Amino acid sequence: MKHSFDPGRSAVKPALAAVLDRMAPGLRQLARTQVRITAPADANGSAFLGADRAASARDYLVMRGISATRFATVARSPADGVEIVVSERK
């Protein structure tokens, strides 16, 4: 997680941005998929911080051409890292 977000912040750090940049072309090609992004709060943060971080990762991908309607964002406990799950739309 330390490479994804700074403590108490929701801005995507360069290491996570690089991963998202590599994912974006494949996600654009898989238009019939749903993307769930789960991000943690930090030890001093609340679930709101986790939700904000997940939204930041989503927004980063939206700026790279992935439709915002394909995303679900979820907060998780501080000990867990960022998780991105791609599944077929129903």
Q: Which helix (H) or strand (E) holds 56?
A: helix 47-62
Query: Taking CA 8 as the corner, what is the angle to CA 61 and CA 54, rounded to the nearest 5 degrees?
Result: 25
Task: Look at the block and give the residue holding tokens 């072309």.
Answer: 25
Q: Over its length of 90 residues, how does the chain's per-residue pLDDT go in tens digits?
A: 568 888 889 999 999 999 999 999 999 998 889 999 998 887 776 778 889 999 999 999 999 999 999 999 888 776 677 888 888 876
Q: Which two tokens stand for residue 16?
A: 């996570």
Q: Which two tokens stand for residue 19?
A: 């991963």
Entry pTM? 0.87
Strand partners, 38: 74, 83
Pairing type for strands 71-76 and 33-40 reads parallel
CATH topology of domain 14-88: 60s Ribosomal Protein L30; Chain: A; (3.30.1330)
